[in-house]
Structure 1
Amino acid sequence: MNIKILGSGCSNCAKLEKVVREAVDDLGIVVEIEKVQDVAEIISYGVMSTPALVIDEVVKLVGKVPNRARVVEILKQALPQ
């Protein structure tokens, strides 16, 4: 699983990264987490508000920082069946 945190490096972007890392630890899964700060690349996902969460090239969340339980739920839904 490939996870991207899209954002300019703002405090909410850092919070989203922290919550995602905690959720990944909770699930005990191996993922690749990448921070994307390039504006052109962020826009290429159709994202106009950050932070955003992209899992396996699918935008899952835009413009907010969810709690850890919500991120765990999003990750579980994205896991291969």
Structure 2
Amino acid sequence: MDNLLDFSEKVALITGAASGFGKSLAEELAKRGANLVLADFNEEGLTLTKQDCETLGSKVIALTGDIAEEAHSE
């Protein structure tokens, strides 16, 4: 794999990861070896994205809630 596309041993934080561009980005980075921290207020969609990325080999932490809220936590 091209070094510019290899995200092995890197961590990416993706907001809006339950659907659309955020979900696509999470899956693509998982394919390239990244470990992920995913956030979204859509718990069901976030769970599906987490499962998909784990199937691709990523370690994933999923945070449900609104990251604009100070109380947002794991």
Return the TM-score normalized by structure 2: 0.36
Q: Report which structure shows greater RCO (CA 8 Å, sep ≥6).
A: 1
